[in-house]
Amino acid sequence: MPSIIRLTDDLPYPIEIVSIDCRENEGITKKNPIFTYKYPKINDVLFKDDDDLSKTTVKKQKVEMINTFDAPINGKVVKINIQKGMKFDEFDPYASIIEVDEGCLHEIVYAGLCAVCGKNIDDEDDDQEEEERQRAMNGGERYSNNSNNMNSQNGKNKDSFINRDKDTSKATLSYANQNIKVSRSEVNRINREHMEQLRNDKKLILVVDLDQTVIHCGIDTSISDWIKKEKPKDVFKFCLEENIRPWLQKQSVFIRQQYMNKSTITKNWYYVKTRPYLKEFFSAIKDKYELHIYTMATRAYAEEIAKIIDPDGSLFQNRILSRDENQSLTSKSLDKVFPVEQDLVLVIDDRGDVWDWSPNLIKVIPYNYFQGIGDINNLQLPTQNLSDMPENVDEKTHQEKDDQLVKLKEQLLDLHSDFYLEKKVEQEKEKETNGNNTDSKNYLKKDIREILRLKRVSLFEGCRFQYDKMTKDLQRQIEQFGGRITPTSKDATHIVINSGESATYKKETNKVLIGLAWLYKCFENWCADEQYVVNRLKIIPPSAKKIEEEEEEEEDENNENNTNEVLTSESKALFKDGMSWLEDESIDEDFSESLSNEEDEEDEEEDNDSDSDLEKELELELK
């Protein structure tokens, strides 16, 4: 199917085509003109006074400018849909200029060469990068007053005005091998097929962070001495040759002087402690989840850690995304791993900020074993405030109190069970409705993010937290579990008063005084004692509130209609025999008599009231 080239919205409209610079059934080359056009332009022209040559005046003058519209792609012209003299007064997004057969779309590229035709695709990529660079230098303008710059089609993505039946923009097929690139359409197709296969196998996907999530690593030389002395269990070590030049450039002049005339390639020994219950954790979930590693560390480091936590390679199978492929030291994104569908994906990480608190994220309590050493690979990120965090290790006995992975295992298995159990129930309901001919692949697709949200949001829904040292990360985590933040204790249901693990409900104020460690325990366990959330505010969901308001409006309308019906029936009975009743004296007498009777009754009641008041006064005087 030929590619359709359309007009762009940044041409100097109105334009008129002066000549067609290509022919049907002939080749066209990228950056060569498709057609030449003219357009009006108002210029400031300087005129000299005929009487006094020293005087000049500036006048507006309309001039015609000539420019070309260049081809954004290579190929053979199949059809020309414009002709000489055609005018375009404004941008028309549906106006087709020409149709081009591009031949090979280079859908599979390896090491810069098309795997089908052998063309060097890197040349095209370099051209595009140069165009973007020139555009940035020109302040983002595609057209300028300089005619030499006006024919460069670099204002937008070159594909923005090309209609293809396939998206040919390139993406890596595997983040483990950046040399293989395929078209975006092919990536999307492969990704969807993979997700469908996982659904058929009843599997979900778990993206695992390394440092301070499943391991803790240190590089300090003092660790070596401490390990020789204490001989702790489950501590591993490995050596990497690394270039310390990037690190050295950020150090002080004094430190840099110490490395003068020395090689920047150094050998570093890393000491790794695996988190308690790690083997049991992976063993329990490996058949339920496809496992991926996503780390801020280098690939060499990640591969060494993978050898420790997955010795036979059966868990991750080289599914490792590192700093080298992520190309960012400050953020992570699932688009790098799963660009199409993310409804089966969960993430475990000790940091929520790097994920911008993605709905796929399950934040774990950071794991710290080596005292005073944080995440050695997150040097570009702000330091986590761990001063209020519960300690994982007893400094004296070195006994670990960390059971995060035990709880996380149960949570992940529970999520998996809910996801596929609900899918099975919905599938059976759909089969009952549509018959047994329903294709098993067409059942309703659940989203694991929604199941995760519903499980967490009920924990603190209706609770309002106040904390003088509130951080953005803590606020986002509270919001993940349904709570909200308030700046004053007056509006709060829960007030953080210290870093302890206790919580106290004050009945007289209807507030709960909590410690920060208690709050983190609730995050870790996904539950809290009912006695400490009994004061949650009652929240009416927007949908329920709307239904309630509609019911009230409907009830008011019904009451109004019933009243009108009663009045109408009474009025009909009143005027049924005409208006002769107005002249009926008996009615007037009855009416006046009833009024007088009512007045007499009211007078009697007043007399009785006055008599009773007098009696009360007399009784008081006698006493």
b/e sequence 591-600, b meaning 16+ C-beta within 10 Å: eeeeeeeeee
Task: Select from 469, 468, 343 the least CA-distant residue to 415.
Answer: 343
The rounded distance, in Å, linking the Cα atoms of 364 and 503 is 22
Q: How confident is the model at residue 535 (pLDDT cuts 50, 70, 90)?
A: confident
Residue 5 CA: distances (Å) to CA of 9, 95, 97: 13, 9, 6
Q: Which long-range contacts (CB under 8 A, 24 or more apart) does 118-124 make?
A: 121/170
Kindly tell me the burial class for residue 501, based on how many C-beta atoms sit within 10 Å of its own C-beta (0-12, 13-18, 19 or more): middle
According to the model, what pLDDT value does residue 483 have?
A: 94
Instruction: Output phi, psi for 599, to 5 deg.
Output: -65, -40
The rounded distance, in Å, linking the Cα atoms of 121 and 74 is 13
According to the model, what pLDDT value does residue 47 have?
A: 76
Contact 15, 9 (CB under 8 A): no
Most confident of 120-124, 511-515, 618-622: 511-515
Number of residues that this document lists for the chain: 623
Check pLDDT > 60 for residue 347: yes
The rounded distance, in Å, linking the Cα atoms of 309 and 303 is 10
Which pair of tokens denotes residue 608? 């009785």
The rounded distance, in Å, linking the Cα atoms of 325 and 142 is 32
Q: How confident is the model at residue 153 (pLDDT cuts 50, 70, 90)?
A: very low
The rounded distance, in Å, linking the Cα atoms of 67 and 149 is 10
pLDDT tens track for 82-114: 999 999 999 988 888 999 988 777 777 766 777
Helix residue spans in 310-447 (DSSP H): 323-326, 404-434
525: left (phi over 0), alpha (psi -120 to 50) or beta: alpha
- Give SS3 for 284: helix
pLDDT tens track for 547-602: 556 666 666 666 665 655 554 555 555 444 554 444 444 445 554 555 555 555 55
The rounded distance, in Å, linking the Cα atoms of 324 and 296 is 9
Rg (CA), the chain: 39
Contact 239, 267 (CB under 8 A): yes
Q: What is the DSSP letter of 502?
A: -
Residue 388 CA: distances (Å) to CA of 113, 153, 297, 516: 54, 56, 26, 7
Q: How confident is the model at residue 238 (pLDDT cuts 50, 70, 90)?
A: very high
According to the model, what pLDDT value does residue 456 have?
A: 94
Q: Which residues contact 496 (CB under 8 A, 6 or more apart)?
A: 465, 466, 467, 468, 469, 514, 515, 516, 519
Check pLDDT > 90 for residue 357: yes
According to the model, what pLDDT value does residue 151 have?
A: 39
The rounded distance, in Å, linking the Cα atoms of 205 and 338 is 10
**Beta strands 27-28 and 177-183, pairing class:** unpaired
So where are the chain's domains?
A: 1-103, 110-200, 202-413
The rounded distance, in Å, linking the Cα atoms of 253 and 480 is 45
Architecture in CATH for domain 1-103:
Beta Barrel (2.40)
Q: How confident is the model at residue 54 (pLDDT cuts 50, 70, 90)?
A: confident
CA 466 and chain centroid, separation: 26
Is pLDDT larger for residue 122 or for residue 51?
A: 51
Task: Select from 173, 175, 200 the least CA-distant residue to 185.
Answer: 173
CATH class of 202-413: alpha beta
Averaged pLDDT, 401-414: 94
**Beta strands 494-498 and 464-466, pairing class:** parallel
Most confident of 143-152, 435-444, 495-504: 495-504
Check pLDDT > 50 for residue 192: yes
**Beta strands 33-48 and 345-349, pairing class:** unpaired
C-alpha angle 451-343-216 in degrees, rounded to nearest 5: 85
According to the model, what pLDDT value does residue 89 have?
A: 92
Output the furthest CA–CA distance in the chain (Å, rounded).
128
Per DSSP, what are the bridge partners of residue 80? 98
Task: Select from 407, 373, 377, 376 the least CA-distant residue to 393.
Answer: 373
Q: Which residues contact 92 (CB under 8 A, 6 or more apart)?
A: 7
Residue 246 CA: distances (Å) to CA of 42, 176, 481, 592: 54, 24, 40, 107
What is the percent of the chain where pLDDT is above 90? 39
Helix residue spans in 176-244 (DSSP H): 184-200, 221-230
Residue 484, Cβ neighbours under 10 Å: how many?
18
According to the model, what pLDDT value does residue 622 have?
A: 45
Can you count the helices (H) and strands (E) in the chain? 15, 26
Kindly tell me the burial class for residue 354, based on how many C-beta atoms sit within 10 Å of its own C-beta (0-12, 13-18, 19 or more): buried
- Give SS3 for 450: helix
Check pLDDT > 80 for residue 344: yes
pLDDT tens track for 433-446: 665 554 444 445 68
Q: How confident is the model at residue 623 (pLDDT cuts 50, 70, 90)?
A: very low
